[in-house]
Structure 1
Amino acid sequence: MSEQRVASRYAKSLLDLAQERGTLEQVKADMDLFRTTLEQSRDLRLLLRNPIVKHDKKLAILRAIFGGKVSEVTEKFFVIVTQHNRESALEWVATEFQSQYDVRRGMQVAQVTTATPLAPALREELNKVVRRQSGLESVTLEETVDESLIGGFILRVGDRQLDESVRNSLRKLRNTFKENPYQPHL
């Protein structure tokens, strides 16, 4: 089973359990802390992925780092994940937890990459498009500038992507020319 699918299932289980116990906001804060720690520590990410390090050792390290800083539900979650030898999925679980939390709260996060900063009118238009497509009222646009796009934009919403960049159009055109349908007459 892929890491993403495993992460999705664990994240949903953690989300449901936290909501059932009334600790959803605390567990969300725990997952934010965990995700931030993983982003800042390459060594921790590599350790969790390493199949040579024993699972109980990984759990001991997680407890040393997060013990007393996270809720009891989150600590028990770490225990369950390590007992099932799925520590490598923890990195994805934190990200997936955030996505599922946002959906449950009626929020949608969309990443938009453009060649230049977005104008306010275009930002509002993209907001409307994402709201219409997702059916959710609250949309957050995460903007990134990438000059290599030349023009246009790339819009990512969940697992969908719309690439309307000039760079992508040029790549498609280049591939079309490689096919070279022209046949000279001899």
Structure 2
Amino acid sequence: MSEQRVASRYAKSLLDLAEERGTLEQVKLDMDLFRKALEQNRDLRLLLRNPIVKSDKKLAILRAIFGGKVSEITEKFFSIVTQHKRESALEWVATEFQSQYDALRGMQVAQVTTAAPLAPELREQLNTIVRQQSGLQNVTLQESVDESLIGGFILRVGDRQLDESVRNSLRKLRNSFKENPYQHHIN
């Protein structure tokens, strides 16, 4: 089973349990803290993925870093995940938890990458597209700039991506030239 599917199931279980216990907002803050720690610490990400380091060592490290800083439910969650030797999925659990939390709250977060800062008209068009696709009215665009796109945009909503960048168009064109149907082979 892929790490993404495992992460999705673990995130759903954690979300449901936290909601049932009335601690959803605290667990959300815990997952935000965990996700930020992973983003800022490459060594921690590599440790969690490393199959040579035993699960109990990984749990001890997680407890040393997050003990007393996260809720009891989150600490027990880390323990369960490591007992099942799925700590490599933890990185995606935090991201998946955020997505499921947003969906529960009727929010949709979309990432848009453009070659230059978004013009207000394009921002509104993208908001409309995301609202129509998700069926949710509460949409947040996370904007980033990548000049290597040359022009256009890349829109990511959940696990779907729309790549309308000039860079992507040029790559497709280059690949189509490689597959020249007019080339004759002489034997």
TM-score past 0.5 threshold: yes
User: What is the Cα deviation at residue 182 of structure 1?
Assistant: 2.7
Letter in 2 for 1:54: K
**Matched residue type, 1:4:** Q
Deviation at 1:88, TM superposition (A): 0.9
1:48 corresponds to: 48
Give the alignment's Cα RMSD to 1 decimal: 1.4
Partner-residue secondary structure (3-state), 2:161? strand
Q: Does 1:73 align with 2:88?
A: no
| 1:7 correspondence with 2:3 | no
Asked if 1:160 corresponds to 2:154, the answer is no
Q: Say if 2:30 is the partner of 1:24.
A: no
- In 2: Cα distance, 1:153 partner to 1:54 partner: 43
CA-to-aligned-CA distance 1:96-129 (integer Å, 9 cap, x gap): 1001111111111111111111111110111011
What is aligned with 1:83?
83
Equivalent pairs: percent with the same residue? 88
Query: Relative to 1, partners in 2 of residues 1:183 and 1:76: Cα closer, same or farther, differing over 3 Å?
Result: closer
DSSP 3-state at the match of 1:144: strand
Letter in 1 for 2:158: G
Give the C-alpha shift of residue 15 in structure 1.
Answer: 0.2
CA distance in 1, matches of 2:40, 2:19: 28
Cα shift readout 1:61-100 (whole Å, capped 9, x = no counterpart): 1111111111011011011111111111111111110011
Question: Take 2:131 and 2:28, find their aligned partners in 1: how far apart are those partners?
Answer: 24
Q: After the TM superposition, list the runs of 4 or more consecutive aligned residues in structure 1 that deviate by more than 3 angstroms.
A: none
Q: Provide, for residues 23-76 of structure 1, a one-character-per-residue CA deviation record: whole Å limited to 9, x for no partner.
A: 000000000011111111112111111222221111111111111111011011
Letter in structure 2 aligned against 1:92:
W
Once the two structures are TM-superposed, the CA of residue 183 in structure 1 deviates from its matched residue by 5.0
Residue segments in structure 1 that go unaligned for 5+ positions in a row: none
Q: C-alpha distance in 2, partners of 1:78/1:181?
A: 55
Structure 2 residue ranges without an equivalent (≥5): none
Q: What's the offset of the Cα at 1:181?
A: 2.6
Deviation at 1:167, TM superposition (A): 1.4
Structure 2 counterpart of 1:150: 150
Give TM-score scaled by structure 1 length.
0.95
Match of 1:108 in 2: 108
